[in-house]
Structures are given as C-alpha cells and as structure tokens.
Structure 1
Amino acid sequence: MNRRWMLFATAATAAALTAPLAATAQDKTPLKIVVGFPPGGSADTLARLLAEGLRERYQPVVVENRPGAGGRIALSQVKRAEPDGQTVIVLPSGPMVLFPHVYKKLDYDAVTDFTPISLLTHFQFGVVAGPSAKAKSMAEMIAAAKAEPGKGSYGTPGQGTLPHFMGVLFEQQVGAKLNHVPFQGGGPANAALVGGHIDYKFDVVSETAELHRTGKVRILAVTGAQRDPQVPEVPTLKEAGVDMVATAWFGMYGPAGVPDAARDRLQQAVAEAMKQPALRERLQGLGYEPVGSTPAELAAAQKADLDRWAAPIRATGILLD
C-alpha cells in the first residue's frame, strides 16, 4: 500500500509541476515582426528591442527584414498575411501618412488594409553633414546651397519617405536646392555619408548620433520643438534660424481583419513592454519617446497626419509612379 501510494504521489507531484509549464508553453504563440528596412537602421533596432520585451507573451518572436521601396514591399507582405495576430509590421509613419499622397498607385490602402495595434514611439530627425561637406553649421549649409544650387546632395532611407519630404520642405523653407539621393534604408545612407559619396543626410537622429559623437559626421540641427537628449549640444532648426518643426512616430499594424481578442492581446503586450524600465531607458537613449498606445489612438494619430501632410505634399508637386 505504501509503495503504491508513493508511486501515485510521485506521479501526481510531477503532473502538478509540469502542468503549469505546459500551459505556459501553449499560451505563448509565435510572433513575426516584419521590418521594411535593412538590419541596423532605426526601424530594425526598434523592432528588435521590442521583440525582447514581447517574449514574455510570445515565443518565438522573429524579426524579418524585407527592405525596399521605402517599406512598401514589407507592407504588401503583411497585407497578405493570415489575420491571426501572429504577423505584424513595425514601421515609421511615412508609408501610412505620406505615401497615399505621394504615389499614383499603391498596392495597399493605408487605412482599410491594416489593423492598428499600437503607436510605439515619437521621434525627430537630424540634418547631418558628412566629411565631404564643408558646412559646420546650418547657416553655412544654407549659404553653400544658395551659392551653388543643386551641387550639394542629401541622402535619405528612400524616395517618398519622411526624411525625403523633410529635405523637400527644408529646401522650400530656406530657398535652396539640393540633389536627393535615395537609399534602401538608413544604414546604406550612413555608409555613403561617411564615405563622402553624399554631402548631407536627413534621417532619424539615432541613425547618426554615434557617428556624430565620434566626429565622423556632424549633426547640424534637429527637427523637433526641443533638443534631442542624444545630442543635447545640437540646436533645433528653429534655434538655427529655420522656421520648421517636424516629428514622426513608429507604429505596429497587423493585416486587416485581426480578431479583436488577438489585437488586444498584442496591444496589451506592447503596453506592458513599454513600461519595462530597461526597454524605456534603451529607447529614450536612442531619442525615442515610448508610448504603447491603444489601437484607437494609433488610428487617430494616423488620420491626423494623413490630413496634416496632404496640403504640403500637394504644394511640392511631387507625384511618384
């Protein structure tokens, strides 16, 4: 009797110990985060930091880079994905608020083809001079561009992206002309800047903050209303005499039709991750303001920027195929 009881008790104890583990494993579903830019850029960095914060809820979490066309290739992939809450995209606001005004034809509808999950962060941009540029200040950059229109060049992560239009609006604001050189992401643009193949770059501050600190490039100004904590010595455009303020955000979306339960689970996981002190510190160190909003708040931010950018883009006359 005692031996049979001991065998039963041992089996029961083992079952009790393994049951919670099995349940936990079953509760953790896979998650794929698609990024429309190459590894090493701002979108990729954010996605990988967020992936670490989501692993308490999802397992495995895989970041997949599908660069090209300013994020449109990745968006097309996510649009066609199964709407089960296991495939999402992390991207800057440009493809969702600029591209509908910029391109004659898009193979996605920025509003109806995707499910808003969460607004992740706010951020600003930098105007960066490389070693081929002689300008050491915004005043010198503007003077050089006016003296020799079209001679200077600036790189961005792609045609029709937010940094591209930052450059266009900057040219309009100061009355100068620069040549735009699009790349497939911030990393390749950085390489060209450091290598002296382009003179300037408009992009997220975090892309060039370390290069600025080591003297390989010079961030001449930032585009937000406040200085960026990554480079507090760098003035805003307004402080440098250019009447221009422009910021943007990163968001997470799934394909259209993600069930409310799966959408809400994702949003709650993102909100919890954004509260983690270590993740917040990393993001703030990169110049990002962590948010972790509701789906409705992301949808509202997207609509507001869609409306805000319509007139300025029309004024540029830029319309791409």
Structure 2
Amino acid sequence: MRFPLIATFLLVGAVASATQAQPYPSKPVHVIVPYPAGGVVDGLVRSLGQPLGESLGQAVIVDNRPGANTIIALEACAKAVPDGQTLCTSSSDGMSFNPHLYAKLPYDAERDFAPITQLVWVNGVIVAGARVPYDSVRDMVAFAKAHPGRINFASFGIGSTPHFFVEWFRRTGGADIVHVPYKGSAQIIPALLSGEADVTFIAMGIVLPQIRSGKMKALAVTSPRRSPYLPEVSTLAEQGSDPQLQNWFGVFAPARTPQPVVDRLDAEFVKALRNPRFEEQFLKVQAFDAVGNSPAEFAEFLKADRANAKQVIARTGIRLEDSPTR
C-alpha cells in the first residue's frame, strides 16, 4: 500500500513544481477597481491596461466593484489568491481614511495588501458655481460665517474626501456650511451648474473645461504648490486652511504575493506610466501627475498618509461605527 501513496505524493509534488515553474503571468491579470465604469479611475486603469498587457503578454481585465466607500472592492482584493493574477487600485479613501473612520473593516489596510506602486497624484480643486458671490476659499468661509446655512457643499457621501473638506472648514474656520451628499461627479457637476449646489471638491481634470469657459469658479487648488493647469489659482495653504488632503491612486496586490511578482508588476506599471502616448492622451487631459515609485517607497508613503488621515479625522470629528457592507 506504500507504493501508491508514494506515487501520489510524487505526483502532487510534480504538479506543484510545474505550477511554480509557470512564467508569470500565466493568464489574464484582473484589476479590481472600487469605482464605476466610465469614471476617472476606471479610465486610468484601462488606459494603463493596454501597454501593460502588451508588456506582460496577457490581457489586463478591469473588474469594477463600486460601493461602500471602496470597501467591497478592497475586501475582494484582500481575499484573492496571492499569485499576482488579481490586483486592485485604491486611494487614500480605502487605505488611509477607512481604517480610522470605521470601527470595524473586513480587511486590514496594513497587513492584507502588498503595495506595488503609487500611480498618480490627483490635482484637486475646490470649485464653485459661477454665480456664487465669493472667489476664494477664504472668502467662502467669511461668507458662510455672515450667512449661516446658505452654502451647500456637495460631496460623494459621508466619509468621502469632499465631506472631510466640509468638516475641516466648519471646525477650523467656524463656517456654517451645509453638507449635501450626491452619488458622484455625474450628479454634482449639473448641480453646480444649475445652482442647486454651491461648492465641492473634485478632481481638477473633470472640471477644467467649465472653469476655463467661466461656467465655474476655482476657489483653491488642494496641491502643495500651484498647479500648472490653473497657475492663477492659489493653494489652500496660501489661503491659510490646508488639511493636506491630496488625492492619489495606487495599485496593490494581496499580501503574500511573491516579491519577484510584485517587483515585476512595479516595473511594468512604471513603464506604462512613462509611455508618451499615455501622458498626452490621459495624464494631461485629467491633470494627473505620474509617480511610479518602488514598492518600498510606496509603503513608506502609506505610513505617512495614514498618520495624516488620523490627524484629519481627529480634527474633523468624523467617525463611522460600522462598515457599510455589514
């Protein structure tokens, strides 16, 4: 009876060795995106997916799983097989704010993911409808103090980045501003144009045409320095009210993904980011700044970003007890 048993072990060992010997990737790579199809992040991943797929020799498939403040997508990514065939994108929302925002999460942002690379910085802007009687965030705060409850500040929901800006201006500036949640930028932009909403925070590339045509006003940029896309608009720091909330997007693998696979993916994503066609057709259009750092550099950045998120949450007082997926 020993010989069949030994043969079985040898067969299992041979299969395992053959699996390990397979070149990476051995099949299409899935990238889970925590936002709807057609949005900016979806476009970012799809634009990178073509040169990335050509370089990897396998198709890159985008798997959109929006909802629950990115928790649905990140839980799926954390529980995926750590073989490099399933990746995910995230931002400060899912990786830095959620761990401090919710008492319980179905994933651990520090332990359940292997950082690959920060893809981009998102140039953000505090933008208002053209008819508002203020031209800067400083003037907006002064108006809100003089006219309590008159300013409707649109957000993507409780705990979203625009919501943090609302609470920051309330707590640090004493501004009486009304928080109005919407489902996304597709609803916020018409609301600003019609006057239903007054102000929001949004990715600059989405509203550059409206700002340049005079249909919206840029009150401040949220980056540390003035943006080359709107050089005449001052930063929040220049206006004396900066929570240092600069959005970014990065790519992650499940924890325990082999380091050689993580390093290969980092190299391929960085190469795709440096593609001149991608820069012209996507980065400049969306007003994004490419990053493309190493896994170790990205991990260090995440530590600092989480520390800042903790401070912002403490200053704004926003806290959600339960994960919206439960």
2:44 corresponds to which of 36, 43, 46 = 46
CA contact (8 A) 2:141 2:169 kept: no
Two-structure CA RMSD over aligned residues (Å)? 2.4
The residue type equivalent to 1:42 in the other structure is: V
Cα distance change on mapping 1:52 and 1:289 into 2, 3 Å = same
Cα distance change on mapping 1:213 and 1:48 into 2, 3 Å = farther
Shift in Å at residue 284 of structure 1? 4.1
| TM-score normalised by length of structure 1 | 0.83
1:186 alignment partner in structure 2: 185
CA contact (8 A) 1:173 1:243 kept: no
Q: Write the distance in 2 (CA, Å) between the matches of 1:219 and 1:95.
A: 27
Q: Which moved more, 1:127-136 or 1:142-151?
A: 127-136
Shift in Å at residue 162 of structure 1? 2.7
The residue type equivalent to 2:302 in the other structure is: Q
Q: Write the distance in 2 (CA, Å) between the matches of 1:206 and 1:244.
A: 21
2:32 alignment partner in structure 1: 34
| SS in structure 1 of the partner of residue 100 of structure 2 | helix
Matched, 1:259 2:258: yes
Shift in Å at residue 151 of structure 1? 2.9
CA contact (8 A) 1:40 1:187 kept: no
The residue type equivalent to 2:215 in the other structure is: K
Cα distance change on mapping 1:255 and 1:192 into 2, 3 Å = farther
Matched, 1:297 2:297: yes
| TM-score normalised by length of structure 2 | 0.82
Shift in Å at residue 301 of structure 1? 0.9
Instruction: For 1:203-218, list aligned pairs within 5 A.
Output: 203-218=202-217
Q: List alignment gaps of at least 5 residues for structure 2.
A: 1-22, 322-326
| SS in structure 2 of the partner of residue 272 of structure 1 | helix
Q: Write the distance in 2 (CA, Å) between the matches of 1:106 and 1:60.
A: 31
| SS in structure 1 of the partner of residue 247 of structure 2 | strand
Q: Write the distance in 2 (CA, Å) between the matches of 1:39 and 1:157.
A: 16
CA contact (8 A) 1:122 1:248 kept: yes
Cα distance change on mapping 1:263 and 1:160 into 2, 3 Å = same
User: Alignment identity in percent?
Assistant: 39
Cα distance change on mapping 1:314 and 1:240 into 2, 3 Å = closer
Instruction: For 1:132-281, list aligned pairs within 5 A.
Output: 133-240=132-239, 242=241, 245-281=244-280
Q: Write the distance in 2 (CA, Å) between the matches of 1:317 and 1:88.
A: 33
The residue type equivalent to 2:32 in the other structure is: V
CA contact (8 A) 2:27 2:85 kept: yes
Instruction: For 1:8-87, list aligned pairs within 5 A.
Output: 29-58=27-56, 59-87=58-86
Q: List alignment gaps of at least 5 residues for structure 1.
A: 1-24
Q: Write the distance in 2 (CA, Å) between the matches of 1:115 and 1:231.
A: 35
The residue type equivalent to 2:272 in the other structure is: A
Q: Write the distance in 2 (CA, Å) between the matches of 1:29 and 1:188.
A: 38
Cα distance change on mapping 1:244 and 1:116 into 2, 3 Å = closer
Q: Which moved more, 1:134-143 or 1:203-212?
A: 134-143
**What is the number of equivalent residue pairs in this alignment?**
297
Cα distance change on mapping 1:189 and 1:89 into 2, 3 Å = farther
